[in-house]
Amino acid sequence: MTIYDNFYVYAPVSGQITALDYYCGDGYHPRNYENVSPIDIGGGGGGSLIFKASSNVKSIHIGHWSLCSGYGSPWSDGVYVELYSAEGTPYWAKFGAVYYGHVANRAAESWPNYNGSSVTLGTVPSSCPCGVCYNPCCEGDDCWCTPICDPCNCCYQGAHSHFELRNDSPVSSVNPNLYCGKQMYAGDSSSWVYKWQVAIG
C-alpha cells in the first residue's frame, strides 16, 4: 500500500494578497518559464523574504533565476527553492519547486543542499526608479513584457513578493481559500499557499 504525506509551503512575507492568476481588479498576472499559480503579497518592502515549509520538508536546494522586469536588478533577480522529503537532497526525494521573484540581497545558491524547512531568501525591494519609461527585457517564450511608462508604480503594485510554482511540480495544489485582499502572515501554517501530496513509501 502506498503511503502519502502532505507537504506545505507558507507565505514568505506578511501582507495582503494583491494578485493570484489575475491582478486583483486588473489583468493577467505574468508568470515565468511556463510556471503556474503565481501569487503576489503586497508590502514588506525592505523586510525579509523567508522561505518556510512544513517540517516534513527535510532539505532544500536554492538556485538563482532571472525574471522579466523593466526595472532591472533587484526586481529581475529571483531565487528558486527545490523541495525534498529527505535530508541531503537525494534526487528520488525531490517533489517540487517554488520560484520567488524580486529578491534583493539574494541568498547564495546552495550545493549540495540546505537541510531543514526554513531559510531566509533575501529581502523585498522597497523602491524603484521613478519617472522613466523602460523597454523591458523580452526573451524566450515568456514575452509578455510591454514598455513600462507608469512612473513610481513598481511592477504595477509597489513593494511586494511574487512567487509561483514550477510547471513540473507534480501533484501540487494552491490553497483554495486564498482570495484578493486576504491578509497573509509570514510562515503561518494556517494559511498555507502551496501543497503537495507525495508518495513516501
Comparison of 35 and 117: residue with beta carbon closer to Zn ion: 35
What's the min distance (Å) between Cβ of 94 and Zn ion?
A: 25
**Span near Zn ion by CB under 5 A; candidates 64-72, 87-95, 131-139, 158-166:** 158-166
Q: Which three cell numbers stand for residue 168?
A: 513540473
Comparison of 57 and 121: residue with beta carbon closer to Zn ion: 121
Distance of CA 127 to the CA centre of its chain: 19
What's the min distance (Å) between Cβ of 29 and Zn ion?
A: 6
What's the min distance (Å) between Cβ of 13 and Zn ion?
A: 13
How many Cβ atoms from other residues are within 10 Å of residue 116's Cβ? 15
**Span near Zn ion by CB under 5 A; candidates 37-45, 136-144, 178-186, 188-196:** 37-45
DSSP string, 150-201: -TT-GGGTSSEEEEEE-TT-TTEEE-TT--TT-EE-TT-GGG--EEEEEE--
Q: How many residues bind Zn ion (CB under 5 A)?
A: 2
Q: Return d(Cα 60, Cα 136) in angstroms, integer.
A: 32
How many Cβ atoms from other residues are within 10 Å of residue 99's Cβ? 23
What's the min distance (Å) between Cβ of 201 and Zn ion?
A: 37
Q: Count of H helices and E strands in the chain?
A: 0, 13
Comparison of 32 and 85: residue with beta carbon closer to Zn ion: 32
Q: Is 164 in the site for Zn ion (CB under 5 A)?
A: no
Q: Is 40 in the site for Zn ion (CB under 5 A)?
A: yes
**Span near Zn ion by CB under 5 A; candidates 53-61, 92-100, 141-149, 160-168:** 160-168
Comparison of 78 and 96: residue with beta carbon closer to Zn ion: 78
> Given candidates 94, 106, 162, 166, which one binds Zn ion under the rule CB under 5 A?
162
Burial class (CB in 10 A: 0-12, 13-18, 19+), 117: buried
Q: Which of 39, 30, 13 is nearest to 125 (CA)?
A: 13
Residues at the interface with Zn ion (CB under 5 A): 40, 162
